[in-house]
Amino acid sequence: MTAPREHVEEISCQEFVELVTDYFEGALGPRTQNRVEEHLVMCHYCETYAEQIRATMRALRALDDEPPAGEPSPAILAALRRRREDSR
Amino acid sequence: MEALRSGDEDAFRELFQRKSGLMKRIARGFVASDAVAEEIVQETWLAVVNGIDRFESRSSLNTWISSILINQARKHGVRERRSTPFGGLGSHTGDGPSVDADQFEKEGDAWPGHWAMGPRPWHSPERRLLSLEAREHLRHALGQLPERQRQVVGLRDVEGCSAEEVCSLLDLSEENQRVLLHRGRSRLRASLDRYLAEEAA
Ligand SMILES: [Zn+2]
């Protein structure tokens, strides 16, 4: 009796691609988390997909190197000057 | 902090150089152009210098500056949306599936819901995704995301902020933060997938 039910509870690849972020974030309940992990062990395609999401995250992290934004504006420098004068 | 209060220009320039790049990218999540993002950064620093006496050390200087930045950015974001036709629709698009339904087997096939062909493999992604061109592509794709997704992905994945920080900076529930992160990341993966396929062709 229990076998077909377990089968129904397996997640599909189409479901996996919607759960992958919650899985990475550790936000799944224990039952769903188990099913996702079981699926990943069996499904080479979803393993590839998950790795592509990780590669996307690494590529995004590598964008974090833009040069700083120019110079303080004259208005800021004037405000600093007022502070210096006030604190004298 | 004391240096800011007393108007020490060298100390200020040091802080400005160290923080402005990050601040600009955060601002960029709210508005459509680089120039406006730069303006927001300048306005924020002006507000910081003028308002430093109101800063209480209960919160960290970083958090205080971020909250000013996001306030300024919101004001600009609202103004920009009013002046751009259709701009307001941006935050409501992008609710489709992470992967097109036609990539999966259908009801009646042998394995409904399973990959029909599997995701296209990416060959040596580490090398190819770090090329200048790939980074430009990704930067552009990030800019095309609906506003809230762009903000969350920018803060989480580009800046490396924690989920808690992003929730509090953008005033989001944990669940909404994850949904936005998921949609944004999924779309960027799909965009990189197309880029890598075209580049290889
Ligand atoms: Zn699968």
| Whether A49 and B25 lie within 8 Å, measured CB to CB | no
pLDDT value of position A65: 64
Q: Which of B160, B178, B186 sits opposite A27 (nearest CB)?
A: B178
From B45, B80, B115, the end of a domain falls on B80
Task: Tell me how far apart the alpha carbons of residues B180 and B167 are, in angstroms, rounded to a whole number.
Answer: 11
- Domain identity same for B73 and B131: no
Within-domain flag for B186: yes
Q: Which of A14, A48, A63 sits opposite B158 (nearest CB)?
A: A63
Within-domain flag for B116: no
Q: Which of B6, B18, B185 sits opposite A84 (nearest CB)?
A: B6
Per the prediction, chain B carries an average pLDDT of 85
- Look at chain A and report how many structural domains it folds into: 1
- For the record, the structure tokens of B169 come out as 């900076």
pLDDT value of position B201: 74
> In this predicted complex, what is the ipTM?
0.76
- Domain identity same for B76 and B16: yes
For the cut 90, the answer to whether the pLDDT of residue A52 exceeds it is: yes
> For the residues B82-89, what does the mean pLDDT come to?
42
Lowest mean pLDDT among A7-11, B8-12, B47-51, B143-147: A7-11
Cα B120 to Cα B46, B62, B78, B99, B199: the distances in Å are 49, 42, 40, 12, 13
Structural domain including B55 reads 2-80
Residue A24: CA count within 13 A, CB half-sphere: 22
CATH of the domain at B179: 1.10.10.10
- Domain identity same for B194 and B131: yes
Residue of B nearest to A13 (CA): B114
Task: Tell me how far apart the alpha carbons of residues A14 and A19 are, in angstroms, rounded to a whole number.
Answer: 9
> For the residues A62-77, what does the mean pLDDT come to?
79
A59 touches chain B (CB under 8 A): yes
Torsion of CA B184, B121, B138, B142, to 10 degrees: -10
- Look at chain B and report how many structural domains it folds into: 2
B17 touches chain A (CB under 8 A): yes
pTM of the predicted model over 0.90: no
Strands of B68-196, DSSP E: none
Res. B60 pLDDT band, cuts 50 70 90:
confident
pLDDT digits (tens, 9 = 90+) for B8-53: 999 999 889 888 887 887 887 788 788 888 999 999 999 999 998 8
> For the residues A35-39, what does the mean pLDDT come to?
96
- For the record, the structure tokens of B182 come out as 């998921």
> Which of B132-154 are b and which e, b meaning 16 or more Cβ less than 10 Å from the residue's Cβ?
eebbebbeebbeebbbbbbbbbb
Amino acid at B173: S
CATH of the domain at B30: 1.10.1740.10
B148 or A87, higher pLDDT? B148
